[in-house]
Each structure stands twice: as C-alpha cells, then as structure tokens.
C-alpha cells in the first residue's frame, strides 16, 4: 500500500481540485456552429472571463489526468503480480510522466482563448431566439471559449479530451482480465491473505473502471450537439455535470474498498464519541457498510 498510495494521492488531489474548480466555473456549453462557447454561472464570473476560461481549462486537464492514473492503477496491479512491486520512487516518476501530458495540454489550451465580445456576436447570431445580446434579459453574461474548433490548438485539445477515453478504457479492460486470470491460477505463489488483498483491490478498480462511463456519455453528447445532431438546454447543461460525477464517485469507491482508508474513516466518529457510545456507534457504522 505504501507505493500504491502514490496513485491514491493522485486520485485524491485531482478529484478535490476538479470539485473546487468546477464549483468556481459551473459552465454551460453553447453549441454555436463550429465555435466552442461557454457561459459561466459560478463565482469565477465575479473575477474575469479569462479566469473563467482558466477554470474551464484546469478542470479539463484534471479530468484527463484522472483517466491516465486510473489506467496506471490497473497496470500497477498487473505489474505487481508478474514482476514485483515498484518502489515509491518509481510510482512518483510514473505519476509525473502521466501528468506531463495533461500539463502540456493545459498550457497550450490556455493560449487559445478568443475575444468574449466576438463570441457573444456569434452566439447571438446563431441563437437569435434566446436574445443573448439583450442585457435587459441576461444582464451581464460572462462567457469565454474558442472561435473555431478547427484552429490547430483547439482541435488538438478536443482530440486529447475525447479520443483517448476509448483506448484507455479498452486497455483497462485488458489489464483487468489479465490480472484476474493470474489471480485465479491455482499455481500462483501467493498466500491466501495476499491473494484476498489483490482481489479486493481489483474489485475496487473494477468499480472504478465503470466511472469513465460518465466521460464516454458526456463526450458522446458533446460531439453530437457540436455537429447539430441534438440540441436544446439539456445537452448544453448536462455535458460538464456528467463529468462532475467522476470526482464525486471515485473517492467513495476508494474509501469503501480499501481497508486502511475505511478503517481511518470509522475512527473519526468514535474518537469524539463518549466512551460508552464508541462500541455502539462503530457497530452501527460497520452494519451500514
């Protein structure tokens, strides 16, 4: 667990960062031809459109990194069974290598913000029924985005956010299958306790492997709406709200399936409880779990 905790720390930090930054941005996608326009309803609107755009880019890069770390977790579990456990130093190197891709994406994507006034004109022209340019209805809209999805930087950013989720998911299923095959082999040289520990972690990762479903569905809705196959307020609002489910579900899975973290959580209410109530409260919590 000492080396694997490096990946767990990645999950915890980036899930927390995603939640905070999503609260600040709370963006709504306005599908306007080939322009990518976002209206921000979160507290970032009280700062500036640039800060809102930064929050949007930062959220995209944290979500992308979480995908890579999930894949790395499955590779790690397989590697432990076939070639020994990597050291903490190796895990840190792997984390930095995976994060470097998302960090480069963030730095590049930040350089492609378009003028807000120009985006407003495009939005008002393509959606005249909503009167986005009427301050009496919408007051002061805070929006940002990219004028054309086919500009080199924007197009590469879209590819990075949407294309890898399919091969990553296929690789996750591949490593899960191989890991379970090794664990089910009667000739494997593992103690019953170690085998049970591996199986618990694989169950946790298997549940986590279902989490990218939110990403796949959101990417599908985003792509269809961008090309005009679907439209309306539901696709505009639901795209990033589905992605927000990822940092909400992932910590729950970790706490539920990994015993040291579950035991640590169970100690919190008992530490502040009166001595007579400690056993009863712990028994009740264990029953609920």
- Residue 67 C-beta-side C-alpha neighbours within 13 Å: 25
Calculate mean pLDDT across residues 27-44: 88
For residue 145, the surrounding DSSP H or E stretch is strand 143-146
* pLDDT given at position 269: 65
How far is the first Cα of the chain from the last one, in angstroms, to the nearest whole number?
22
Q: CA–CA separation, 99 vs 123, rounded Å?
A: 34
Residue where the block lists tokens 């970032």: 44
* pLDDT given at position 273: 54
Percent above pLDDT 70 for the chain? 92
Express each pLDDT in 83-120 by its tens digit.
777 888 888 998 999 999 999 989 999 888 888 889 99
Express each pLDDT in 39-58 by its tens digit.
999 899 999 899 999 999 99
* pLDDT given at position 43: 93
Mean pLDDT of the chain: 81
pLDDT band at 289 (very low <50, low <70, confident <90, very high): very low
99-131: b or e for each residue (b if 16 or more CB lie within 10 Å)?
beebeebbebbbebbbebeebbebbeeebeeee
52 or 1, greater pLDDT: 52
237 or 270, greater pLDDT: 237
Cβ contact 171:179 at 8 Å: no
Structural domains of the chain ordered from first start: 1-259 (1.20.1070.10)
Express each pLDDT in 198-214 by its tens digit.
777 777 767 777 777 88
* pLDDT given at position 285: 42
Q: CA–CA separation, 118 vs 155, rounded Å?
A: 19
């Amino acid at each position: 667990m000492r080396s694997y905790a490096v990946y767990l720390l990645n999950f915890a930090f980036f899930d927390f960062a995603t939640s905070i930054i999503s609260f600040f941005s709370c963006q709504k996608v306005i599908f306007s031809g080939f322009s990518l326009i976002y209206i921000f309803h979160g507290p970032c609107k009280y700062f500036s459109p640039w800060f809102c755009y930064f929050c949007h880019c930062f959220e995209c890069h944290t979500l992308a990194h979480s995908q890579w770390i999930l894949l790395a977790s499955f590779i790690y579990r397989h590697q432990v069974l076939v070639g020994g456990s990597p050291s903490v130093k190796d895990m840190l190197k792997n984390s930095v290598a995976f994060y470097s891709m998302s960090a480069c994406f963030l730095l590049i994507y930040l350089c492609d913000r378009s003028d807000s006034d120009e985006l407003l004109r495009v939005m008002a022209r393509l959606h005249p029924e909503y009167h986005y340019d009427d301050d009496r209805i919408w007051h002061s809209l805070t929006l940002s985005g990219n004028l054309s999805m086919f500009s080199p930087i924007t197009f590469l950013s879209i590819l990075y956010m949407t294309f890898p989720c399919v091969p990553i998911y296929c690789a996750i299923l591949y490593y899960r299958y191989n890991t379970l095959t090794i664990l089910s082999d009667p000739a494997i040289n593992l103690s019953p306790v170690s085998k049970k520990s591996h199986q618990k972690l694989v169950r946790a990762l298997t549940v986590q492997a279902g989490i990218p479903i939110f990403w796949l569905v959101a990417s599908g809705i985003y792509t269809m709406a961008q090309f005009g196959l679907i439209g309306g307020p539901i696709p505009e609002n639901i795209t990033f709200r589905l992605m927000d489910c990822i940092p909400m579900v992932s910590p729950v899975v970790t706490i539920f399936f990994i015993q040291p973290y579950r035991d640590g959580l169970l100690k919190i209410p008992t530490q502040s409880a009166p001595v007579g109530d400690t056993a009863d409260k712990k028994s009740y919590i264990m029953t609920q779990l």
